[in-house]
Amino acid sequence: MAQGLRRLESIFQPRPIYFVTACTYERRPILNNANVHAQVVEFGDDGTEHGAWLGAYVLMPDHLHAFVVMDSTRIGLSTWIKSLKNAVSKTLRIQSVPSPHWQKGFFDHIVRARDSYSAKWHYVRDNPVRAGLVSEWSEWPFIGEIFDLEFRHEPN
């Protein structure tokens, strides 16, 4: 098989793992609180009803990193992100945090290999350490994993 075709197989997985980042409006530090964290966990737990599995995530003060697998026949990534942002915004409004809460859009990347997934997660989980918020990543209270996502290459 040609090299380019093998690369396409690794890109067009039936259910790829997406790495996503969403930032707050004007990078305001509004996400690192227990209520927002609880909302993200609840949203992740409920996602399977809609065809989305939230894996590991980190809530930083002004952005969110997450890994998610989508059943694209049931929900698209953009719709899922919009719903997540809306759920978090509802919690922020209850806390009297003025809108807008989010920058428009988000960044996404398809994880193409097991090593890439592991390396990306280790880098992301250390964000609170690099930001000087904690000395060890495990001390950061706004980090977790709803579903244990496993990278699988499923050839066609």
Nearest to 32 by CA among 58, 59, 57, 64: 59
pLDDT at 34 over 70: yes
- Token readout for 108 is 């996404």
pLDDT, tens only, 37-94: 999 999 999 988 888 999 999 999 999 999 999 887 788 999 999 999 999 999 999 9
**pTM of the predicted model as reported, rounded to 2 decimal places:** 0.84
Around Cβ 49, how many Cβ atoms within 10 Å? 9
Topology of domain 15-145, CATH: Alpha-Beta Plaits (3.30.70)
Q: pLDDT category, 6, cuts 50, 70, 90? A: very low
Domain spans of the chain, in order of start: 15-145
Beta-carbon contacts of 116 under 8 Å, excluding residues fewer than 6 positions away, are 151
- Residue 5 — φ and ψ, nearest 5°? -70, -40
Around Cβ 97, how many Cβ atoms within 10 Å? 16
Nearest to 83 by CA among 29, 44, 118: 44
- Token readout for 91 is 């919690």
- Token readout for 18 is 């997406």
Q: Read off the DSSP letter of residue 67.
A: E
